[in-house]
Amino acid sequence: MSFQTRDHHGVVYHTSSILDTPGLIHGFSTRLGGVSEGPFASLNFRGGGPEPDVRENVRENYRRFCEALGTDVHNVVQSHQVHEDTVRHVTGADRGKGLFAATDYTADALVTDEPGLSLMVFSADCIILLLHDPVTASIGAVHAGWRGTALGIAARAVETMERIVPEIGAREFIVDEDIAKVSLVGTGMKSSPGVASRTFQTLGDNNINIVAISTSPIRLSMIVDAAQAAQAVQCLHTAFGLDSDDLFVETQLSAEEIAAKMKKGR
């Protein structure tokens, strides 16, 4: 994991490579790029205290930071942090709380599975944890001071995210077992452009329907009908010049044999 420094029209912030995922935005703010002056210079987010910053400046700072990240400031949700282990499951009803509406709760961790909401927590010398579950598309933001850490707030936040799926209320799941996964794997995929396009073109030319696609820097995987699995692998071998490779002898298996091996965990 590494951190990158970003600069958007003077607003400087940091991001983590581990959260560099399409559709997911995050950032760790700095004090650079805002409009506040004096002791608040310049990207100040706190408008309270005995001698508060100018409220309009604070809101403009939030707007600039959210614009840099690519989100709407009106979608931000904050909390009144009290160094405890309370986790709040945020919903659309909490949108704007802390900035445009009062926070009617205390919590040191926020989690949500609603698209569009932006969770914001603050820290001076405490730990900030950002969580993401790609399966449920849920996120979490945790303020973990020593007291919250001792109380297990990080684990509580993860547990709350795990409960999100049961809370959806699904009574049953429909599963299709007549499918197979076909994958292309190799470290050269990162430096060999055109692999994905050739793969999709080859399967399309052979009337093989792709049900789902997943990718990583070294892997391209497709879900296809189990009855077409052997044909899919064979036509891809041909397209990439692998027909003579003895390592691919299992491609001659029938769809039933492939399905049987899949059930055995192979």
Average pLDDT of adjacent 10-residue blocks, the chain of 266 residues: 92 93 92 96 92 95 97 96 96 96 96 95 94 88 93 94 71 73 77 83 92 80 90 89 57 52 51
Widest pairwise Cα distance in the chain: 78
pLDDT the model gives residue 212: 85
Residues pairing with 11 in the sheet: 8
Which residues lie closer than 8 Å to 113 by C-beta, 6 or more apart? 136, 137, 138, 139, 161, 164
- Nearest CA among 83, 37, 34, 20 for reference residue 63: 34
Hey, which CATH number is domain 179-263, 1.10.340.30, 3.30.2130.10, 3.30.540.10, 3.40.50.720?
3.30.2130.10
Question: Residue 261 and residue 254: Cα distance in Å, rounded?
Answer: 11
pLDDT the model gives residue 240: 82
Question: Residue 84 and residue 150: Cα distance in Å, rounded?
Answer: 9
**Domains of the chain by residue range:** 3-167, 179-263
pTM of the model: 0.65
Hey, which CATH number is domain 3-167, 1.10.10.10, 3.20.20.70, 3.60.140.10, 2.40.50.140?
3.60.140.10
Rounded to whole angstroms, what are the CA distances from 105 to 59, 108, 132, 138, 252?
A: 21, 10, 23, 21, 62
Q: What is the Cα 191 distance to its own chain's centre?
A: 25
pLDDT the model gives residue 186: 76
